[in-house]
Structure 1
Amino acid sequence: MTATAKPQSKFSTVIRVTSGNFIEMYDFFLFGFYATYISKAFFPSDSEYASLMLTFATFGAGFLMRPLGAILLGGYIDRIGRRKGLVLTLGIMATGTAMVAFIPSYATIGLLAPLLVLVGRLLQGFSAGVELGGVSVYLSEMATPGHKGFYVSWQSASQQVAIIFSAALGYILNESMSKEVIADWGWRIPFFIGCMIIPIVFQIRRSLQETEEFLAKKHHPTFQEIMRALTINWQLVVSGMMLIVMTTVSFYLITVYTPTFGKSVMKLSIVDSLLITLFVGLSNFIWLPVMGALSDRIGRWPIMALFSGLALFTAYPTLNWLVENPSYEHMLAVELWLSFLYGSYNGATIVALTEIIPIQIRTTGFSLAYSLATALFGGFTPLVSTWLIETTGDKASPGYWMAMAGGMGLIATALIYKGIVKAKV
């Protein structure tokens, strides 16, 4: 379907554009959900800690490719169009997903196994570098006036659907298969399912129309012009990165790292950890559009300042309380509180980032800020959390990491909305 085809409904368009976002995030979460099994299959070691660290390092390596993807693919989308760029990112991501799903274990092909897993993760990271930015910008440009916060929130909400689906699938597998079977080959089943879904999502995304706002632009910047504008607005990109640090750190802490934390630290069963992750996904799914819509009414900055401040002052105390009073119910309560902080902050922040970046570099600037935050902070949250606990002996120490992220979000909100950092044309 081309840009000249008949108009699509808003609901249909949201489903079409976020479908690729769902599958992209689905595979990212699977890597974290099954980190223990992946570590044994591809990174065998006498030390469970060393094996897990290598796995999370590989998980984090994918995020290092995001800034490169943001610049190259983001520039392509700002120059060629939103629709074509989103189709391209889906194709690159599909290649990385298939590699992780079908690569034989270390026992079969030796060192080639972890190397190929790393390549697959790098491809996923490269495409993800612009996926979230491309989807967010598309949603902001197709939104009805006065409702951008609500529409853009569905970018993050689609990620929660991926979490819910992944956790539910993991729960079913753990209930229907023995631990030995899952550790041997059963953990690959969700990756195979992802590969089966990709062709369907690809057809859905191909039917997207170009946004009217992009079509109305009289000048589409060259790559050199985009790079020049990014350089001029470097302070804005860095401030945007600081805004997103709170989003990415809290998100990966309460989703990807939760199963590992529940199993390895809290000594809960993997089923209980997956159930908590499922409830967190549901909670996020509710709070994101609610707070996105609220930000349309009262403004972005009050919500961003309040919830980044709450993260700064409550992340460690709540995790410390959990560690001192370990139970399934207490972990669920703490995770839902952190989910409330994440969903509320993110519901206002993502749309805010689309608004503060100049239109000529909207996708590139958004994606670069988001990618830097993820590459330098959020993506390494499972690795940092594992390291902090091992080094300090404090099981609640990941709370310090989230508190730091909350502080950065609070500072960035003040810099941007007090006019200290402004866009330059």
Structure 2
Amino acid sequence: MNATSIHAPAAAAQASSRRSRAKAIFAITLGNGLEFFDFTVYSFFASIIGALYFPVHGSLNQLMLAVGSFGVGFVVRPIGGIVIGAFADRVGRKAAMTLTLWLMALGSALIAFAPTYAQIGLAAPALILLARLVQGFAVGGEVGASTSLLLEYADDRSRGFYGSWQFVSQGLNTVCGALIGVALSTTLSQAALESWGWRVPFVIGMLVVPVGVYIRRHLDETLANPVEVDNTEPVADMARPLREIFGRHRTSLVAGIVTTIGGTAANYIVLFYMSTYAIKILGLPMSVGMSAALVAALVTAVCSPFAGSLSDRLGRKWVMGVSRVLLIAVIYPAFMLIHAVPTVTTVLAVVAVLGAIVAFTAVPNIVMLPELFPQSIRVTGMSVVYCVGVSIFGGFAQFFATWLIKLLDNPLAPAWYLIGCGAVSLLALPLIREPAGRPLD
């Protein structure tokens, strides 16, 4: 028997294992990626949505209301994280992620088919707000369940790499949203874009959900001893994760929330607000603003696996700390540069550099959060920590940035917001024990 015949079964098994891991990663991250697809197109068409649904005086005021309604969805994220997180820690990760997908489909449908203010008056913005609340509630549970499942599929030496695909999915779906936005804005007239074109991406997002539900059906459940869905007897005990988190894990809770502030502010400003900034503040065409977000998202997606692997080797705290100090150092000069030289080349180059830094500051952060809690409360703990930090400092990042520009009459004000969030987030690192390389359970 030759060496080739001996090693062929092993090679085939290894290839099969790689395909299985790839399918699992794709299935797990699909829902969170879909969230960012919807958020991307909402951000890109914020100026149109503001004009159609929030007819107040002044384009900047319309923009503030539009991005404010974008942020409203983040208000209910902690509630969704608690409810769906407890469900995931009792019934299982798969059941929770299926629920969140259907809820996100409902939110997308409400936005896609909502009549405008001119058609139904105040009920129109109310429908947009309701859609954002439904999506925010769903995503509050989705992020914790999917990230926890990713880490539970990995071993102690690869959790950073596995968890990084959460951000890869976000980046790639942001790219998809940007490409669709660019295609619509360049091929349709302004009248067609404002009439029906902006609704197309939300219909696409709604139709993707059944595919995601089917794919996720074949995942393995990682929760030990999940409770049957129709067993109502333990429902009263679903508050147990919260009691344990706020009782025995208060330090992890506070430290996780504070570290999340820096990562989420950078993520939402660079990946989402920069496109709006290029259009509204720099006066560049909509296609340029969308291209800027596309470049930032693509760079983030490419760099994320490297950031995750580096955090497996050097530690989450080291990678996160160094990258945040670097972001604090370059963000103000970056805003100065694009304001002084508001050309397409300058904007794209700046967002590419910032996108790379965001990957190295955000990936180890999101990987570290579920590592702070044991399996029995992992989804609830990660959901509460992540959603509280993201709800305030990520979801309303665009609103705060626009408000600061108006308050200070300074187009560079968003940089100060990122500097403040980044500096505060560094204060919590000494409270966290380095989780990389340690057993998850």
Q: C-alpha displacement at 1:216, in angstroms?
A: 6.4
Q: Are 1:97 and 2:108 an aligned pair?
A: yes
Alpha-carbon separation, structure 2, partners of 1:83 and 1:197: 18
Is 1:260–2:276 an aligned residue pair? yes
User: C-alpha displacement at 1:215, in angstroms?
Assistant: 2.5
SS of equivalent residue, structure 2 residue 428: helix
Answering whether residue 397 of structure 2 is matched by residue 381 of structure 1, we say: yes
Partner of 1:176: 187
Deviations 1:201-232 (A, max 9, x none): 22112232212xx23689x9932321211211
The letter for the 2-side match of 1:175 is T
Within 5 Å, which residues of 2 pair with 1:152-167? 152-167=163-178
| Aligned residue number for residue 303 of structure 1 | 319
Check the 8 A contact 1:61/1:122 in 2, yes or no.
yes
Counterpart CA distance in 2 for 1:315 and 1:358 is 36
**Pick aligned residue for 2:84 from 58, 73, 78:** 73
1:16 counterpart SS class? helix
When residues 121 and 50 of structure 1 are mapped into structure 2, their CA distance, relative to the original with a 3 A threshold, is same
> Is residue 2:261 matched to residue 1:245?
yes
Shift of 1:56: 1.2
From 12, 37, 40, the counterpart of 2:23 = 12
Report if aligned partners of 1:283, 1:339 keep a CA contact under 8 Å in 2: yes
Distance 2:390 2:315 in 1: 25
Which residue of structure 2 aligns with residue 84 of structure 1? Answer: 95
Other-structure match for 2:12: none
Cα deviations across residues 122-147 of structure 1 (Å, max 9, x unaligned)? 00000111211111100000013411
1:402 counterpart = 2:418: yes
Name 1:63's counterpart in structure 2. Answer: 74
* Corresponding residue number in structure 2 for 1:342: 358
Q: 1:228 aligned to 243, 250, 256, which one?
A: 243
Paired letter, 2:412: A
Structure 2, unmatched stretches of 5+, are: 1-15, 228-233, 436-440
Q: Spell out, residue by residue over 1:144-178, the C-alpha distance to the aligned partner (whole angstroms, 9 max, x if none).
A: 34111000110111011111000111111122111
Cα distance in 2 for partners of 1:347, 1:57 equals 26
Paired-residue identity, %: 33
**Which piece of structure 1 moves more, 193-202 or 61-70?**
193-202
1-structure distance, mates of 2:56, 2:410? 24
The corresponding residue for 2:214 is: 203
Alignment partners' CA distance in 1, 2:30 and 2:117: 33
Aligned to 1:393: 409
User: Counterpart of 1:256 in 2: which secondary structure?
Assistant: helix
Moved more, 61-70 or 328-337: 328-337
1:391-422 superposed Cα distances (whole Å, 9 cap, x missing partner): 11211110111111211221122222489xxx
Q: Which residue of 2 aligns with 1:369?
A: 385
1:332 aligns with 2:348: yes
Contact 2:92 2:226 in 1 (8 A): no
- Cα distance in structure 2, aligned partners of 1:58 and 1:44: 14
Q: Helix, strand or coil for the counterpart of 2:115?
A: coil
Which residue is equivalent to 1:3?
A: none
- Structure 1 gap segments, 5+ residues each: 1-5, 420-424
Q: Which residue of structure 2 lines up, in the alignment, with residue 359 of structure 1?
A: 375
Tell which deviates more after alignment, 379-388 or 325-334.
325-334
Residue identity in the other structure for 1:75: A
**SS of match in other structure, 2:396:** helix
Larger Rg computed on CA atoms: 2
Query: Secondary structure of the equivalent of 2:219?
Result: coil
- Residue number in structure 2 paired with 1:215: 224
2:51 to 28, 40, 50: 40
1:338 positional shift: 1.6
Root-mean-square deviation (Å): 2.1
CA displacement at 1:298 relative to structure 2:
1.4
Identify which range, 378-387 or 332-341, moves more after superposition.
332-341
The question of whether the paired residues in 2 share the 8 Å contact of 1:58 and 1:121 is answered with: yes
Answering whether residue 137 of structure 2 is matched by residue 126 of structure 1, we say yes
Aligned length: 412
1:422 corresponds to: none
Deviations 1:77-116 (A, max 9, x none): 0111111111111111111111011111111111111111
**Aligned letter for 2:92?**
G
Q: Is the 8 A contact 1:312 1:405 kept in 2?
A: no
Residue pair 2:300, 2:358 contacting (<8 A) in 1 also: yes
1:187 aligns with 2:198: yes
Relative to structure 1, the CA distance from residue 201 to residue 418 in structure 2 (aligned partners, 3 Å threshold; closer, same or farther) is closer
Question: Per the alignment, in what secondary structure is the counterpart of residue 215 of structure 1?
Answer: coil
TM-score (norm: length of structure 1): 0.93
User: Structure 1 counterpart of 2:259, which letter?
Assistant: L
TM-score, L = length of structure 2: 0.89
Alignment match, 1:275: 291
Deviation string 1:242-290 (CA, Å, 9 cap, x unpaired) is 1111221111111221221011111111111111111111100111110
Cα distance in 2 for partners of 1:133, 1:341 equals 23
Contact 2:246–2:253 (CA under 8 A) maintained in structure 1: no
More moved, 179-188 vs 367-376: 179-188
